[in-house]
Amino acid sequence: MKKHLSKSIFAVEQAMTCLIAKFGALKISKFCSVGIISIFLLQSCSDSNEELTNIESDEIQSIEGIKMPESAFTMRDGRIIVSEIGEFGKNGDGKILQIATDGSVKVIADSGLNDPKGILVEGSTIYVTDNDEVKKVSFSGKVTKWLGPSDFPRKPKFLNDITIDMNTMIYISDSGDIKNGGGGAIYRVDSNGKVSILVDQLNDPRILSPNGLTTFQRGYLTFNDFANGFLFRVRLRDLEVEKISEGFGGSDGLVYSGINLYISDWKNGKLWKIDISKVNEDGSLSDPELLKEGFMGIADMDVTSDGKYLVIPEMKANRIVFLPLM
């Protein structure tokens, strides 16, 4: 999911570099890849007084020791905000973390959160979905409820991603029955905080468990479906739903950068890329390209503020991976 808005979908992709960082018990592990299939070779961190540096290597890096990270949001100043679920289904152990540009990790909030997931940062406020609520988190760590179950047209089941468009409309996905698929919806929140259903199965029966959201294309909301692996877009002026691609398994993260959409398959550990500048004769997008596989629960991604790396929460591996974009 890409939360930042882009002025052009035909921007040139950035060159690749890499992150080197180490902070306390949160270790940075070095990885190398072979071809499309990524083979992760974990190397233990040295106990030396190695200085933290910015992105200066051709190796993929990771920050270890984050318990079930679900979502990453990159800020314009380079900081990265991460939601940490902790033990899934356990109340009170969720956290919001900040990764600085030097690789250091800081806890912003460690109370008042259950299973925090999608993140949106607007000004000095972090909005985060948390089961059937949306909460506001200040950078000083104060957590308050913004939207509760009664604020929605119907009780949400599994609030997941959150994003915003150029008109400051906020969109929230409810993945519904996340285990069996179905019952999901996408909600729209206006500037007064009023919540309405944007789309659900009444708009298109193929909409089962909406997950990742992005508003990179003006006038449209693009989203994927965790249950069937479809990629949709909805035209916001008339709510017309169009399936534009498929085959993404348990699709989760959705982020735009340069001319590419990146889609994560949480269930099968795969990362996909679609070049959106290439369109088939029938108007559908070009075939997706498998970039890497072997991830363990690849979740809600973002792109670093310089456009050079994918920031990938790998939930089951308890780490954040930094993947150079080529």
Q: pLDDT per position in the chain (326 positions), as tens?
A: 444 443 333 232 332 233 223 333 333 333 332 221 222 222 223 232 232 223 234 456 999 999 999 999 999 999 999 999 999 999 999 999 999 999 999 999 999 999 999 999 999 999 999 999 999 999 999 999 999 999 999 999 999 999 999 989 999 999 999 999 999 999 999 999 999 999 999 999 999 999 999 999 999 999 999 999 999 999 999 999 999 999 999 999 999 999 999 999 999 999 999 999 988 777 778 899 999 999 999 999 999 999 999 999 999 999 999 999 96
Bridge partners, 160 (sequence order):
none
DSSP string, 194-208: -EEEEEETTT-TT--
* CATH code, 297: 2.120.10.30
Tell me, yes or no, whether 22 lies in a domain: no
> CA 72 → CA 60, 205, 299, distances in Å?
17, 30, 9
The answer to whether the CB of 130 falls within 8 A of the CB of 120 is no
Query: pLDDT tens digits, residue range 200-211?
Result: 999 999 999 999
Tell me, yes or no, whether 156 lies in a domain: yes
Tell me, yes or no, whether 14 lies in a domain: no
Tokens of 22: 């180490």
Task: Report the mean per-residue pLDDT for the chain.
Answer: 84
| Residue closest to 18 by CA, chosen among 74, 58, 52 | 58
Q: What percentage of the chain reaches a pLDDT higher than 70?
A: 81
| Residue closest to 311 by CA, chosen among 85, 111, 66 | 66
Strands (E), 113-165: 116-122, 125-130, 133-138, 143-147, 159-164
What is the model's pLDDT at position 281?
75
- Structurally, the chain folds into a number of domains equal to 1
173 phi, psi to nearest 5 deg: -95, 140
What is the model's pLDDT at position 11?
33
Q: How far apart are CA 73 and CA 53, in angstroms?
A: 21
Tell me, yes or no, whether 294 lies in a domain: yes
Query: pLDDT tens digits, residue range 223-275?
Result: 999 999 999 999 999 999 999 999 999 999 999 999 999 999 999 999 999 99
Tell me, yes or no, whether 43 lies in a domain: yes
DSSP string, 59-121: SEEEEE--SSEEEEEE-TTS-EEEEE--STT-TT--EEEEE-TTS-EEEEE-SS-SSEEEEEE
Tell me, yes or no, whether 15 lies in a domain: no
Tokens of 252: 């989760």
Tell me, yes or no, whether 92 lies in a domain: yes
Bridge partners, 245 (sequence order):
231
Tell me, yes or no, whether 11 lies in a domain: no
| Residue closest to 142 by CA, chosen among 102, 110, 166, 189 | 110
What is the model's pLDDT at position 206?
98
Q: Could you list the residue range(s) of the whole structural domain that residue 170 is in?
A: 28-324
What is the model's pLDDT at position 5?
40
What is the model's pLDDT at position 282?
75
The answer to whether the CB of 84 falls within 8 A of the CB of 76 is no
What is the model's pLDDT at position 48?
28
